[in-house]
A and B are shown apart, each in its own frame.
Chain A
Amino acid sequence: MRRFARTPDIMQDALSIQHVSHSFGRFAALKDVSLSVPRGGFTALLGVNGAGKTTLFSLITRLYDNTSGRIEVAGHDLRREPGAALARLGVVFQSRALDPDLTVAQNLEYHAALHGIPRHEARLRAAEVLELVGLADKLGSRVSALSGGQSRRAEIARALIHRPQILLLDEATVGLDVKARAEVVALTRALTATGVSALWATHILDEIRPEDGLVILHRGEVLAQGNAGQIGGNDLTGTFLRLTGESA
């Protein structure tokens, strides 16, 4: 694996993954993966379909049990302190996770309750996070009535309502048109300016900027990690194709 220089962290990482492997039967989906996400930064997890991004997210969110290595969220070991670790995670899954039969507010209040936040507090926070994602006027709308981009922003609001320290976004722009995609990426970047860290799983190179943190995952292995500008130079696409051996 190639390591590239990154601004030294003076604070603890928001997410630290050390030597994590995972298999489905004989198929090794992740092989000795180690990576870290600094606090308040935007880190892209880049990989083609089948690279292991969703499996990694499933391990971080404890949908799967990690039996090897160590995952820490804001310093909390996921195996030893799952509650404390999950309380600090906000997750936007690849597939839609909002209940289409309920309103945006009802979905957010439900999610807040799952984090033990009382209803009166949840209402205040729902208004706050919807304002943040530009959906203040959709509080009472049914999720089924939202557009794809609005629905995605509502998912981000849901993931933020319990004030997590790190946001995990798994292919959050899949299925969105160009405008909605740009809005969701811009919104996530804006959030990192408020101190929330973001791990952005994607296979779209256009969504990555030179100043972003970058982890390249391919066939379950981390091929490179560090600063996107330093990894890719002026040609991130070429570097990615060369590293993954996917070039023509």
Chain B
Amino acid sequence: MTATPRPTARMWLTCFLGIARRETLRFVNQRGRFLAALVRPLVWLFIFAAGFRAVLGLSITPPYQTYVLYEVYVTPGLCAMIQLFNGMQSSLSMVYDRETGAMRTLLVSPFPRWFLLASKLVAGVIVSIIQVYTFLAIAWFWDIRPPAMGYLTVLPALVLSGLMLGAMGLFLSSAIRQLENFAGVMNFVIFPMFFASTALYPLWRMRESSVLLHHICAANPFSHAVELIRFALYQRFDLMSFGVVAGCLILFFAGAVVMYDPAKGLWARRKGGGA
């Protein structure tokens, strides 16, 4: 037996680029998915936010330094919503890949499983960031114009929040046995996460109506993803949101790696090649 050379840095990069390319190709091939990802937040912006402008105008709330229209307030939340749905879309695609058998191709790669999952996660985030910037470009024509530098400073926040929401999707996908169960994820994860957050209303408004709801919203990691994006878009850094989002990213990703581990996760207990 000859000694086996360890994979070089170039091989790791090749593997990552291959996974990223496949995700991009799938995204490009599914034009409906791109449109759906854009239509959803645009409907909220053009119809919901415009309709509520009169009743939900906001007084000065950090990071805003002046009174802002409701459309302006809701925009960072809609950016996070794009990433939330994209994360769930990736999760759905993982479950689909597992049902069709395509997942096995990924998992029998000689690269470590954590690296394969991380590559898939990062590839999904790249796609979500393209969607967010497209949304922000359209929103600009709707007079939602954060500072020019904000488009740049929001990028790291989008990367981090995208990774956190993608890791959550990855973790969920490891626990979902069948595609049919995904409707449950929509009802029990996506909608509560989105509505019980600061995406649509600030925390102080929540407290006015219900203290319990206020606590739930404050504890919701999605609220912190929204605030991280909101502050970054206005060239501010929110340490608390950063800490929560980074912490949740580590937790969700570690959970996904364990669940996809052949020795530890649900994978090991599935009869018939759950892959």
B243 in the interface, Cβ–Cβ < 8 Å?
no
- The minimal Cβ–Cβ distance linking A133 to chain B, given in whole angstroms, is 17
**Residues from chain B with Cβ under 8 Å of A96 in the complex:** 100-102
Q: Complex formed: what's the CA distance from A55 to B107 in Å?
A: 15
Could you tell me which residues of chain B, from 105 to 159, have a CB within 8 Å of some CB in chain A? 105-112, 116
**Residues from chain B with Cβ under 8 Å of A113 in the complex:** 14-15, 17-19, 21
**Residues from chain A with Cβ under 8 Å of B275 in the complex:** 58, 63
- The minimal Cβ–Cβ distance linking B18 to chain A, given in whole angstroms, is 2
Report the nearest B residue to A121, measured CB to CB: B14
**Residues from chain B with Cβ under 8 Å of A158 in the complex:** 105
B54 in the interface, Cβ–Cβ < 8 Å?
no
Q: Is the Cβ of B273 less than 8 Å from the Cβ of A114?
A: no
Q: Complex formed: what's the CA distance from A101 to B29 in Å?
A: 7
A221 in the interface, Cβ–Cβ < 8 Å?
no
A106 in the interface, Cβ–Cβ < 8 Å?
yes
**Residues from chain B with Cβ under 8 Å of A61 in the complex:** 104, 107-108
Could you tell me which residues of chain A, from 82 to 104, have a CB within 8 Å of some CB in chain B? 82-87, 89, 91, 93-99, 101-102
Q: Is the Cβ of B4 less than 8 Å from the Cβ of A114?
A: no
B22 in the interface, Cβ–Cβ < 8 Å?
yes
Contact of A116 among B1, B111, B112 (CB under 8 A): B111
Q: Is the Cβ of B22 less than 8 Å from the Cβ of A99?
A: yes
Q: Is the Cβ of A115 less than 8 Å from the Cβ of B102?
A: no
Q: Is the Cβ of B1 less than 8 Å from the Cβ of A12?
A: yes
B55 in the interface, Cβ–Cβ < 8 Å?
no
Contact of A76 among B4, B22, B29, B111 (CB under 8 A): B4
- The minimal Cβ–Cβ distance linking A163 to chain B, given in whole angstroms, is 13
B30 in the interface, Cβ–Cβ < 8 Å?
yes
**Residues from chain B with Cβ under 8 Å of A74 in the complex:** 1
Q: Complex formed: what's the CA distance from A15 to B12 in Å?
A: 26
Report the nearest A residue to B26, measured CB to CB: A101
A64 in the interface, Cβ–Cβ < 8 Å?
yes
**Interface residue count for A (Cβ, 8 Å)?**
49
Q: Is the Cβ of A97 less than 8 Å from the Cβ of B263?
A: no
- Whether A83 contacts B112 in the complex (CB less than 8 A), given A101-B30, A102-B22, comes out as yes
**Residues from chain A with Cβ under 8 Å of B100 in the complex:** 95-97
- The minimal Cβ–Cβ distance linking B99 to chain A, given in whole angstroms, is 9
- Whether A117 contacts B267 in the complex (CB less than 8 A), given A61-B108, A98-B102, A101-B30, comes out as no
Q: Complex formed: what's the CA distance from A58 to B274 in Å?
A: 9
Contact of A106 among B7, B22, B270 (CB under 8 A): B22
Contact of B108 among A67, A86, A110, A112 (CB under 8 A): A86
Q: Complex formed: what's the CA distance from A61 to B107 in Å?
A: 9
Contact of B105 among A12, A58, A62, A97 (CB under 8 A): A97
Q: Is the Cβ of B104 less than 8 Å from the Cβ of A91?
A: yes
Report the nearest B residue to A54, measured CB to CB: B273
- Whether A110 contacts B18 in the complex (CB less than 8 A), given A63-B107, A115-B109, A116-B11, comes out as yes
What does the 1/0 interface line of A120-145 toward B look like (CB < 8 Å)?
A: 00000000000000000000000000
Q: By CB atoms of chain A within 10 A, which of B7, B8, B116, B271 has the most? A: B271
Q: Is the Cβ of A65 less than 8 Å from the Cβ of B110?
A: no
Q: Is the Cβ of A95 less than 8 Å from the Cβ of B101?
A: yes
Report the nearest A residue to B19, measured CB to CB: A113
Q: Is the Cβ of A64 less than 8 Å from the Cβ of B262?
A: yes
Report the nearest B residue to A91, measured CB to CB: B108
Q: Complex formed: what's the CA distance from A57 to B272 in Å?
A: 11
Q: Complex formed: what's the CA distance from A139 to B30 in Å?
A: 21
Report the nearest A residue to B17, measured CB to CB: A113
Q: Complex formed: what's the CA distance from A110 to B1 in Å?
A: 29
Q: Complex formed: what's the CA distance from A154 to B22 in Å?
A: 17
Q: Complex formed: what's the CA distance from A25 to B8 in Å?
A: 40
Q: Is the Cβ of A106 less than 8 Å from the Cβ of B14?
A: no
Q: Is the Cβ of B14 less than 8 Å from the Cβ of A64?
A: no
**Residues from chain A with Cβ under 8 Å of B11 in the complex:** 116
Contact of B273 among A27, A63, A85 (CB under 8 A): A63
B269 in the interface, Cβ–Cβ < 8 Å?
yes
Q: Is the Cβ of A114 less than 8 Å from the Cβ of B104?
A: no
Q: Complex formed: what's the CA distance from A114 to B116 in Å?
A: 9
A195 in the interface, Cβ–Cβ < 8 Å?
no
B268 in the interface, Cβ–Cβ < 8 Å?
yes
Which residues of A are in contact with B by a Cβ distance under 8 Å?
A: 12, 24-25, 27, 29, 54-55, 57-58, 61-65, 67, 74-76, 81-87, 89, 91, 93-99, 101-102, 106, 109-119, 158
List 20 A–B pairs whose Cβ atoms lie within 8 Å, in order of A's numbering.
A24-B271, A55-B273, A64-B267, A76-B4, A83-B4, A89-B108, A93-B104, A96-B102, A97-B101, A97-B104, A99-B102, A101-B30, A102-B29, A109-B18, A109-B21, A113-B17, A114-B111, A116-B11, A116-B14, A116-B111
